[in-house]
Amino acid sequence: MATMVKPRTAQQRAVAATRQLREATGLDDLKLLSTAVAELAAEEAARNPAYVSRLQAVYQELVSLHSTRPIRAQEASGVKLVPIGNVAHQAIDPHAPLDPYYLYDLYGPEQLRAALSRYTLARLKEGLPAVEQRNAGTKPASRARKDAIIDYIVEHVAGPGY
């Protein structure tokens, strides 16, 4: 039985390509390297239609990897949450760290993003250790952005696609 490999994200591909280019050229100033690559790519695109076609194909592939979420924090704040799970057996401690798994049990995968969006960045960070512990070797794309933490929690608690 073949194991399905999760496609790399656009950001992971950018990091890998940049690392590969820096190793191949021995150039280390990322800003100057990016400018040089853009200038050379523009020159090549102006004279090589095959290059343009290849560039457009890779671009479309990256667009397909770019995740779009139907509910974002700004939109979710006005959503009325409807409890769907029975969590009466779980004690609620308002001073305890945020528990994303409790929210998942209470609201289900469809409402988890909306429920999380109501928390501050600081409170969301409190919920990360529980998710990281159950998903060893993973971490959010950024700990400084609320949307990145919510994306990470939802993906690892509710699953991909929510």
Model pLDDT for residues 56-91, shown as the tens digit of each residue: 888 888 887 765 554 444 444 577 899 998 777 777
Q: Number of structural domains, the chain?
A: 2
Contact 43, 51 (CB under 8 A): no
User: Of 37, 65, 93, at which residue does a domain stop?
Assistant: 65
Count CB atoms within 10 A of the CB of residue 19: 10
Q: Please give the radius of gyration of the chain, using alpha carbons only, rounded to the nearest integer.
A: 21
Residue 150 structural domain: 73-157
Q: Flag whether the pTM goes above 0.85.
A: no
Spatial distance between the Cα atoms of 85 and 105, rounded to a whole number of angstroms:
6
pLDDT tens figures, 100-140:
999 999 999 999 999 999 999 999 999 999 999 999 999 99
- Residue 100 and residue 51 share a domain: no
- Of the chain, the percentage scoring pLDDT greater than 90 comes to 49
With b meaning 16 or more CB within 10 Å and e meaning fewer, what string describes 127-150?
A: bbebbbeeeeeeebeeeeebbbbb
| Helix/strand number for the chain, H first, E second | 7, 0
Q: Which residue has the tokens 């699953």?
A: 159
- Residue 127 and residue 56 share a domain: no
- Residue 125 and residue 61 share a domain: no
